[in-house]
Amino acid sequence: MLFLDIRDNDFSEKFGAILSRGEETGREVEQTVLAIIADVRRRGDAAVLELTRRFDRLEAATVAELEVTPAEIEAAFAKVDEADVEALILAVERVTAFHEKQKQQTWISTEEPDIMLGQKVTPLARVGIYVPGGKASYPSSVIMNAVPAKVAGVGEIVMVAPTPGGQINPHVLVAARLSGVDRIFRIGGAQAVAALAYGTETIPKVDKITGPGNIYVATAKKLVFGQVGIDMIAGPSEILVISDGSGNPAHIAADLLSQAEHDELASSILITIDRAFGEQVAAEVERQLTQLSRETIARASWDKYGAIIVAADLDEVIEFSNRIAPEHLELAVRDPFAILSKITNAGAIFMGHWTPEAAGDYLAGPNHTLPTGGTARFFSPLSVDDFVKKSSIVYFSEAGLKRLGSDIVRIAGLEGLEAHAKSVSKRME
């Protein structure tokens, strides 16, 4: 863990390692993924079966055997505690309610008497959602990817998830049923992305792929973009906590570790104007680390990519935060609303001392699929907008074309596009 003053001469050099973590895909990874994609495109189901056998130690005679059956989902409900099901239902209800507010309708404008303009909003026909299944199982990822697709009106939701040894977490299956997932396949990695992008004899081709995964999944999504849509290229998880020295150091430490336990590349950063408070948080992190079942992962993350940074004032803190553009940003200050308007770059903003980032991960309502690695400068959280397409509607009456036609012809002439001009001028003869 780094303990730094933002005004240190070597601050940028020392902090640079955290910013660049996971940045390089690596030529070897890209070549491996390219080969997997080509193999799936060429051999379809046969390639998926072979790659699943190799990477997930899962034997199957056909890809159809890798699809989860309704009976398996019913069995999952029987295994899961009723209280767990109720919690997942609550999460689905709250996430649905939030995303319902994002829906846009087709609209038509008739402000001009001889021209009609508008926008048609159409749900995607079929989407694929990728749910990680390696170091942990994530029913919340199912909810966050499937619910906005369902709210948008997507026709079919196909889910893929790696299941080493064939086992799939029953909570994931319950979340999938509650969220409206239509089909589930026990496949993961780059081969799952390729199968969704191009289709195989059994796995249907989709219009868009969403959801986080490891570096092979992220690379595959990047390489199939254009063949299908994708949500974003998700990198390692991160949290930035802004502190004015108020609040409980134990709470801040717990929030930092909530990201560190994700994986060894996760980054947890506190920036504060109170050095003594930062030192208390550092000590509390060390104490809480020993209490975690995932201590090894969290400690590797904290030791290499954790940081506590001391700044002179909140203006310096906010400037730093906007430059970093964190995935998760906690405003752990006395009056978070006083500085909210100054925050310009963040995936999700958690306000005050009683709003831990974990609340947003599970059932606050907003989506937890967020831009990472500074991409919050130009990317937004996953939303209903990711699962629809918009078509412009244009209608000119004869009077409308004749009213604007000469200017259309003039602009076409500026570009030297004679046929464009004639397609209008001939109608005006």
* Known catalytic residue at 330: no
Three-class SS state of 200? coil
Element (H, E) at 254: helix 249-260
What is the value of pTM for the model shown? 0.92
CB distance 262 to 350 below 8 Å: no
Cα-only R_g, the chain: 25
Closest CA to 155 of 174, 181, 129: 181
Find the catalytic residue in 261, 264, 327, 330. 327
Residue-level pLDDT at 263: 87
Residue-level pLDDT at 25: 57
| CA–CA dist 390, 326 (Å, integer) | 29
| CA–CA dist 358, 41 (Å, integer) | 39
* Known catalytic residue at 328: yes
Strands 388-396 and 115-123: antiparallel
Average pLDDT for runs of 10 along the chain of length 429:
87 83 72 97 97 92 96 96 97 98 97 97 98 79 97 98 88 97 96 98 98 92 96 90 97 97 93 97 97 95 96 96 96 97 97 96 95 93 97 98 97 97 96
Element (H, E) at 157: strand 156-160
Residue-level pLDDT at 24: 56
Closest CA to 260 of 268, 252, 270: 268
Closest CA to 270 of 245, 299, 295: 245
Residue-level pLDDT at 363: 92
Residue-level pLDDT at 136: 62
Q: Tell me, what amino acid is at 270?
A: L
Find the catalytic residue in 262, 328, 330, 357. 328
Residue-level pLDDT at 19: 80
